[in-house]
A = this chain, B = another copy of it.
Amino acid sequence: MEKLFLAADLGGTNLRMAAVDSVGTIVSRNRMSTPSDGKQEDIVSAILSVIAEFRRELAGKFDLAAFGAAMPAIVNSQAGIILRSPNLPELNDLDFEARFTRELGIPVVLENDANAAAVGERWKGAAKGVRNSIHVTLGTGVGGGIIIDGTLVRGIDGTAGEIGHIAVEPEGYPCGCGSQGCVEQYASATAIVRIAKELMPLHPETELHSSLELTPLDVFEAGMKGDRLSLEVFRVSGTYLGIALGGLVNVLNPEAIVIGGGVAAGWDLFIEPLQSEILRRAFQHPGERVKLMRSELGDDAGILGAAFLASQKIKA
C-alpha cells in the first residue's frame, strides 16, 4: 500500500494539515481554527481529530506512515519538545513527539516552521537541487532555516536557524527575545509598520498619513505608486536584512538565499537595497555567487517540509 505522510502547520490562528505522498504531491488537505481557550489538551485534541478524519478518508487506500509538524516556536527538534511557543504559550514544554507517537502509533517529527519551510523549498520549491542555502521567512517575525550539504542544520538541540535574531544595530530597537537590534525588528511585517510610523514626521507628503490601521500591504501598495516614505521603509528594511545576510554569506558561502513569508510580496521594493547591501558587506566571491530567490511554495513550504522530514524519519 502506498505510503502517505501526515503534515501539519500549527499556527496561532489556523491548524493546516495535509496528507502528502513520497514525491511531494498533496493528496488531501484539511484545516480548522486553532482552539483559543488556552488549554493545551484542546489543541492536542483538535490535531488528533483532523488526523482521525484523514484516517477515515484514506484508510484501505494508503498507509499513513509518519507525522511531521511545523510550528512557529523554538523547538528542540532532536527531542521533539516545544521549548517556547510565543503564539500558543499553552504548548510550552509539550513533549510533542512522545505524546503524538503514543496517540498515533507512528513516527512523529517536530520542527520549527521556518526550518520546515527551508526543507520544503529544497524538496519541491525554489531551492530544488541546491546543496547550500539559507531560507528566510519574512512574516510577523523573521524566521530562517539553513541547509548545508543538502541537510537541514538543527544544531545540538535542534534550535538552529533563528536568523531573525542576529543583531544588526547593537543598541537598536528592543526585541521580544530579550536582545535589541535584532534583524526581526527591521525586516518583519511588524517592523515595516513601525518604521513607517517612525519616519512619517519626515515625510509630510506621504499618502500613508490617512491610514488608521496601517498594514504592511498599505506600505507596499503606496510604494509601488512611488510614495517616498514607503520606498524609504523598504529601503531601510532591505538594507538591514542585507547586513544580517551579508554576514551569513561570509560565514556559510551559500549558493542561494530563498525569501518567503508575507513580506516577500514586497520583493520589488526591497530586493535592490538587499542585494546591494549583501554585496557591500560580503566578500566579493561569495557575495557575487549567492543567488537571491523568491519562495515558490508560499504557505505550503512548511507543510511540505514537515512531510519530507516525516518521510526521512521512517528511513532513519
Contacts and interface: CB of A to CB of B under 8 A. Distances in A.
Contacts of A246: 167, 179
Interface in A156-173: 156-163, 165-170
Contact of A285 (B76, B166, B247, B251): B76
Nearest to A134: B251
B250 A163 contact: yes
Given A247-B165, A248-B251, A153 B157 contact: no
Contacts of A252: 146, 153, 155, 160
Interface of A: 74, 76, 83-84, 131-132, 144, 146, 148-149, 151, 153-163, 165-170, 177-179, 240, 243-244, 246-248, 250-255, 280-286, 289
Contact of A286 (B131, B155, B247, B282): B155
How many copies make up the complex?
Answer: 2
Nearest to A83: B285
A166 B132 contact: no
A167 to B, nearest CB: 5
Nearest to A78: B253
Contacts of A243: 167, 170
Given A146-B252, A162-B250, A167-B246, 14 more contacts: A83-B285, A144-B251, A148-B148, A157-B285, A160-B252, A162-B251, A162-B283, A163-B250, A165-B247, A165-B250, A167-B243, A170-B240, A178-B284, A244-B247
A74 B253 CA distance: 12
